[in-house]
Structure 1
Amino acid sequence: MQQNLKIDFHTHIISEEFLNLAKKYGDDRWPILEKTCDCGANIMIKGNKFREITDQTWDPEVRIKDMDKEGIDIQVLSPIPVTFSYWSDPEQGLEMARSQNDFIASITKEHPKRFVGIGTVPLQDVDLAIKEMERAVNELGLKGIQIGSNINGKNLDDPALERFFQAANEQGVSLFVHPWETLGRERMLRHNFMYMVGMPSETALAAGSIIMSGMLDRYSNLKICFAHGGGSLPYLLPRMDKGWNVWPQIRKTEKPPSHYAKLLYYDSLVYDENNLQFMIDRFGVNQIIAGSDYPFLLREAPSGKVVDRLTTLSDKEKEKIHGLNALDFLNLNIADYK
């Protein structure tokens, strides 16, 4: 373990024995895992290949070898967003969530110094979601919950979802928001735009919904981190502030949007030093957490590479982004990982 802790906050994992609910319920909308060899598989949906993956995605020993090679002390494990499956029957969605949470918890218990887990919940049913959040954190020892950027087309400020955020606030559960089911998908079919344009736009909409909702006034303990550097949010904040000022009838907050954006967290996955500097100028060093999107093709390797390239940061500031901010966000004690 190196002197300064390096944490990769944004990584995804799936069980090699992933639950086959498509077969169980006769519904091919469920993602399933089809092995192609000992070290590879396809995630399939409706008989079509959604994504090719390798054993990096399920094998902790392979992950640890990569971590050691890249100087990463800890990975934070979260489900692959396509498995959220908010469209499903709530009880079936709970079954999927429980299976994934159990698997992630098993990995963290096997390697407690190398992995931290965050779980998933069936947000199509807020009552079930709250109960599973409590189980994941209190019984399984997971350190947060990953949620999608929208729930069946409902933005995160939809009144039907507020009780979940209230519960997370009261219980001190940190939330990681990852884009999925992006807006305008029908216009993103060419050029892999869903990943390059759709996801950043979707993330900005999710973050903007939280910022404008007034929830951050009501719930002072709420900790939320947004993937991919908050998407396009950093560049939209001045326009959001302008709208807040010229349309007083839309205001649900005490202060303009840029104030609340500084209360949220964001991973560092923006690839470019100028973009990272812009994020730091907008949000502050304490709100940025290094994350790579391991093990997928759009990942940064190693995690925090762009942080190390940014010459304006002091060693102390880099230490915060590489590890200390993640510990703070997830309410972890650094002594437990030394």
Structure 2
Amino acid sequence: MSSIILPKTKSRSALLREKLGYPIVDTDFHTEEFGPAFIDVLKKVGGAEIAAKYVAAISGTGRAQWLNISDEEKKEFRISRTPWWTRPAHNTLDLATISIPSLTYKRLDEFGIDFAIVYPNLTLFAPSIPDDELRRAVVRAANIYSAEVYREYSDRLSPVAVIPMHTPEEAIEELEYAVNVLGLKAAMIAGHVKRPIPGIVKKYPELEKEAFYIDTYGIDSPYDYDPFWAKAVELKVSLSTHVSGQGLDTRRSISNYMYNHIGHFAAASEALAKSLFFGGVTSRFPSLKFAFLEGGVSWGASLYPDLIWHWQRRNKAAVEQYNPENIDKELLYALYEEYGGDHVKGRLDQLHLGANYLINNTVVPLELRDEFADIGIEKAEDIRDLFVPNFYFGIEADDPTIHTAFDRKGLPFETPLRAFLSSDAGHWDVRNIADALADSYELVEKGVISASDYKDFVFTNPVSLYAGSNPDFFKGTVVEKQVDALLKEKGGQ
């Protein structure tokens, strides 16, 4: 059989990489596990029965199931339309590339990529499998598989460990195994855990799958996740999340995948970021870094100033201006009596109804008035310092909102957000992997972001995310020297 000839003409992205003169780090390169090989690993981890259970689960749910359900059933049970046709089928070379590690490695120069963080496809949502035994086995098998197939390519490809978060103990156990035993350096946590609402499920156990709430680990969680955050710091691991919001809240259309897809990564990421922030996680673990992938950055550029705005109006001192005890009831009654007209006349004894319920002097205990208490914020700059250094935003190459991360005049304290290239290669939104990098540079060519911002986007910020937690993260890679020089220039930051 003759050898397949790969493209010889340099791609737009390869030419751009030569022109830039600094390394490109892609933080979200999706690959497709080779199913039979993964199942072999799963059998070794959990046995043939678990492997069969997994195959049955992925075969009988999701896309195929939705297509085989009648319209009447979809309406009656409100079954959301799931993703479909999500791989680059039009580009057979790219399809094979994301499935074969040696081919991925061989084509990196064509893509203009020096180093990539590799994410799975088949087991991307393994940490969210509800069945405890199946989840633990699939997650462990996924991490073993990734470590094995990418080990010989570690100078340019670094796979993430997938980490379940159903309990802190489970998360710690898998993280320690992934780092200490398998040698994985990056980790992706489940963005949330669906938990049954105890009061409802206790009374109506048959509703367990529907009567759930979303646990995002920071606030209102039944578990204390601090031991896990501490373990991540100890092991020098930055944490990313690739959390899906499809099927939650308003993203439950029974007919339209696009309706469910648009904005779902951003919405789910925002929920996690707010939870971590309000739960004081970035305050207690200032060196811990979180990356939110595929949701863009515009939600972060909105959340960051919004947190400051809310604190300015609802901090422990400012909130007292809304205290009902401040109401001058005598003046209030007099104003209504003089200006209220006929529809108020003779009804002032009912003033406690409607919009003026506050005159009832609703009592909120002093200890419940400061909703920023767990963070210890004393000034607006504290929010900046607990948000910007800890949160990173993965953005796809052709996302037009990239500029919002670098809009210094529009962001509080003229502090840009830490956005970085997250190509999402391997999914339907990347039609040709070799074009992704060049597509992202069009914002520089159009003057939307500066050349300096672009370097931060594709090199400085990814390095800050991973080397900021683990100075040796890029040791032994093709970008080691450039990273060392950058860290020296930035003072190790």
- TM class by shorter chain equals 0.7 to 0.9
Matched residue, 2:392: 265
Q: Any idea what SS the aligned residue of 2:386 has?
A: helix
What secondary structure does 2:27 align onto?
strand
Q: Between Structure 1 and Structure 2, which shows a larger proportion of strand residues?
A: 1
- Residues 236, 112 of structure 1: alpha-carbon distance in 2 compared, 3 angstrom cutoff: closer
Q: 1:222 aligns with which of 278, 284, 288?
A: 288
Task: For 1:32 and 1:126, locate their aligned partners in 2 and report how far apart those are by CA, in whole Å.
Answer: 30
Give the number of the structure with larger relative contact order, counting CA–CA contacts within 8 Å between residues 6 or more apart.
2
Say yes or no: does 1:326 pair with 2:462: yes
Paired with 1:293 and 1:236, the residues of 2 have a C-alpha distance of: 23
Q: Structure 1 residues 230, 84: closer, same or farther in 2, change over 3 A?
A: farther
Secondary structure of 1:333 counterpart: coil
Moved more, 244-253 or 183-192: 183-192
Map 1:104-143 → 2, pairs under 5 A: 104-143=146-185
Superposed structure 1 runs of 4+ greater than 6 Å apart: 20-23, 42-45
From 303, 306, 310, give the equivalent of 2:440: 306
Matches within 5 A, 1:36-115: 51-52=84-85, 53=87, 54-80=95-121, 82-115=124-157
**Structure having the higher Rg:** 2
Q: Indicate which of 45, 58, 63 corresponds to 1:31.
A: 58
Classify 1:167/1:269 alpha carbon distance in 2 versus 1 (closer, same or farther; 3 Å).
same
Alpha-carbon offset, residue 215 of structure 1: 0.8
- Write the deviation string for residues 89-125 of structure 1: whole angstroms up to 9, x where unpaired: 3332121111111121123312122201211122113
* 8 Å contact kept, 2:27–2:422: yes
The DSSP-based 3-state class of the residue aligned with 1:289 is: strand
Give the drift of 1:207: 1.5
Contact map agreement 2:252 2:260 (CA 8 A) in 1: no
CA contact (8 A) 1:285 1:321 kept: no
User: 1:195 aligns to what?
Assistant: 261
Given that 2:418 and 2:461 are in contact with CA atoms closer than 8 Å, whether structure 1 keeps it comes out as yes
Q: What secondary structure is seen at the aligned counterpart in 1 of 2:422?
A: coil
RMSD: 3.3
Number of residue pairs aligned between Structure 1 and Structure 2:
329
Match of 2:304 in 1: 237
CA distance in 1, matches of 2:99, 2:399: 29
- Separation in 2 of the partners of 1:15 and 1:94? 18
Distance apart, 1:51 and its partner CA: 4.5
- TM-score by length of structure 1 reads 0.83
* SS of alignment partner, residue 179 of structure 1: coil
Q: TM-score, normalised by structure 2?
A: 0.59
* Contact 1:119–1:136 (8 Å) recurs in 2: yes
Partners of 1:188 and 1:194 within 8 A in 2? no
Q: Which runs of 5+ in 2 are unaligned?
A: 1-16, 43-47, 68-81, 88-94, 195-213, 316-369, 468-472, 480-493
Identity of aligned residues (%): 18
| CA distance in structure 2 between the partners assigned to 1:60 and 1:32 by the alignment | 25
- Could you say if the C-alpha distance between residues 324 and 236 of structure 1 is closer, same or farther in structure 2, counting changes exceeding 3 Å? closer
- What residue number does 1:250 align with? 371
Per the TM alignment, residue 237 of structure 1 is displaced from its structure 2 partner at its CA by: 3.1
